[in-house]
Structure 1
Amino acid sequence: MYRTSKRVLLHRFTECLPVKIYIDLGFTSKIGMRWPYLLILVIIATVVIAYFISPRESKRIVVGTIQGGISTLDIMEADWMKVVRFDKPLDLSQALSRGEVDVAVITAEMYAKFAEKNEDLKIIAADMLQNQAIIGVSDVRELKGKKVGATTASGTYAMFLAYLNLSGLKQSDIKVVDAPPLQLLQAFERGDVDAIVCWEPLASKLIARGYKHVDFIKLAERYLGRRPVMLVWVARSSFLDKPEAKEFLKMREKACLEWKYKAADSLKKLYNMSNEEVRVLMERVEVVSGLPRDEIVLAWKLASLGGYINEGIIEKLKDRAFWEG
């Protein structure tokens, strides 16, 4: 038996505790602390270390978007960020209202619809200019008397109706076939419809095959002399008060700068796009930085002209929609 005490240095905790602690085999320390109390101190130190070196769930940011559309979110990655892709806009709207989603990237007109009932939502940045297209014609006026496939519940359809009106046509001049995006593609390839209205990445996939098309952004330039924003980043006011919001915005700005370098690989992987399809998309899509208010308001006006939102909400949104941080 050992009767003489031996000192054991607790290497793992010397940097965390205020003093270096020595223990003898009789379980009495040199600083006069009994072993049970020392054990408690060690446990507390372990918890403190774990707190600072492990990810904290409270700082995880949940980002929402709608399934099936591109954005700079496609190249944003962080271990503290969780991405949730929703099938329906209503589900995303409700998740934002309940606080289950901190930030979302959605169309400008979708924000306007959400914000009619949820005044807590703020636009914090723009993401992309309009990238939708009418596939199957080279001029909108060619659509008169034709079957046009579209997802009628979408803001894109409202934009289409606005451009139809600006081109001198009415909704009654065409026959609309309502279907989700992938079914629109199938109907177009079968010849069930003469043209379809769609957005990225479907638009570039069809343009890359040589189909005639009319870009929304070109119509805006022709009739309005300006280029509307399509996608915006929105967040709840309560989230914007947190320090994590600034970190997210830094990452979002970085994604804008890196889009042209990193997007190709992500688009191929996420949307099963070929090199040619990606090339077409990269030429068509324009990423936006900052908060171009006039171009966002222009998108709302087009959505109103197409019947997606009430015109009266636009003036109210001008005063409260944009984050001032």
Structure 2
Amino acid sequence: MIYPHLRLAASPHDRLGVHRTDQDWLERRWADPASRVLVVSGTRVRPVDGVLPWVSTADAPDGVRVLLGERDGDTYWAVIVGPEAAASQEGEWYPLRGLLPGLAGDGAADAPLVFHALGLAEWHWVTRFCPRCAGTLEPRSAGHELHCTSCGRAQFPRTDPAVIMLISSGEPGTDEEMCLLGRGPQWPPGRLSTLAGFCEPGESLEDTVRREVAEETGVLVGDVTYFGNQPWPLPQSLMLGFIGRAKTTAIDIDEHEIAEARWLTRAQMREETAAGTLVLPGGVSISRSLIEHWYGGPLPGSW
């Protein structure tokens, strides 16, 4: 089975990391008429008729050039300009979250390139000064390094590991087996998802799963197995999916983290999604893949 979230990473590009410091090579590729550029204003891009416009290098504005890599023989770039560019041009500019529906559909092939571009744009946006001496930073390595002009320290993009987990209880595969879903405080009633959280320093991913579930719901988790991962630069995460088996079922929620947590059987999940009283994450998310993997097939409805 090809899980829906894997579509966002199904067409990886060659990132050409060995060429990021080769200025002659970079200039030749930039001059190639076949090269294509995604213009990013701050951390936003502007679709045209629902499609992301990859322009020629000749039509690209001045800005920070970021080498994304090569796909099907063509070189892809991003040019990062200030957020004022979006304010001065017609049309709506979207952050990555607003682009996900399109990237999951006809634009799926571009998803790895867009994730790469906007992930680096977000890093450039939040990394304005050297964290050691507050000196000025200048881009190097085709946008993949920031060099401090005062102390010489190099900064590199960071990716925060985040876990997302489907926790089950009861005899696997039986009518009595249940899975645990929760609702964030900002979500409307009926909207549920798998639990998730960030890894802390010195912590294994499996222990992160156990800690986050215990903190948010009071449920204790035993065995934890890896499921899959999904790039999620919102703003700079990698979602790592896991399946866990509960040792307890009593729920005691942390109201600062979630508003509701429920155990659901497959029958309950089927009935409530069909009725629209239970709304699950969209097919583009690893959360949906985890839920449908446990359920054993596709389910109706999404948000």
State TM-score, norm by structure 2. 0.24
Higher relative contact order (CA 8 A, sep 6+): 1
Structure with a larger share of its residues in strand: 2
Which is greater in Rg? 1
Structure with a larger share of its residues in helix: 1
